[in-house]
Amino acid sequence: MGALEQFVTIAAVLLGALTTHLTNYAMEQNRNRYELLTRWDDRKLAAYEGYVDAVRASIFLAVQLYEHVEGLRRSDTGEQEMTAELAEAARHRGRAFERIMLLGGDDVIEAAHELNAAAIEVDWQATRKVDGTLEKWRERNRAVFREINDFHEAARVDLGVQGSVKGEKHPERDLLLPPAGSGTANDAAQPQ
């Protein structure tokens, strides 16, 4: 075997080794990138779920307090205790909101801001920081549930989930209220 043949053989082996190394490196990088994206998607999903859960919990407590204060449905729990529970729920909502700020995409963060503002208005009327009629109360509850749907929509897009929670297949729903004259004292907005 001549020197030229040996050189070609060595060059082919080196080229093969380099190609194998570069291919393995690229595949490892892609695998790491995919794992990182999956890990962040899992954390985002948990943050989005936790935030909506915290918002809904605070709305539920606000409804209980409002109904009690307005005499629509009495509770064995006192107003002070309900107000304290609502304040604690608002703190949980705030912590959940901070996770959205850390993990969410731009549209999700903006939707969270809008949702937070609507939820705070519900809290304020329930705690009598702002005045409002029963109809205004219902408007505020309708607004917060619209914002929840907008948040869901932004979160789904951010996570790459196909489909939509709004639109032709999913028309906007109204508050669930007892029929007029049903004899129940519960005439306030109920969380959906």
**pLDDT digit string, tens, across residues 37-65:** 566 888 999 999 999 999 999 999 999 99
Q: pLDDT tens digits, the chain, 192 residues: what are they?
A: 688 888 788 888 888 888 887 888 788 787 777 665 566 888 999 999 999 999 999 999 999 999 999 998 888 999 999 999 999 999 999 999 999 999 999 999 999 999 999 999 999 999 999 999 999 999 999 999 999 999 999 999 999 998 877 766 566 667 766 665 554 444 444 444
CB 102 within 8 A of CB 109: no
Q: Which long-range contacts (CB under 8 A, 24 or more apart) does 83-91 make?
A: 83/127, 85/61, 86/58, 86/61, 86/62, 86/123, 86/126, 86/127, 89/54, 89/57, 89/58, 89/61, 90/58, 90/120, 90/123
| Helices first, then strands: H and E counts in the chain | 4, 0
CA 73 to chain centre: 30
* Domains detected in the chain: 45-159 (1.20.120)
Residue 131 identity (one-letter amino acid):
D
CA distances from 39 to 7, 8, 45, 172, 188 (A): 47, 46, 10, 33, 41
Residue given tokens 């005045």 in the structure block: 131
Residue 189: the pLDDT is 47
CB 99 within 8 A of CB 47: yes
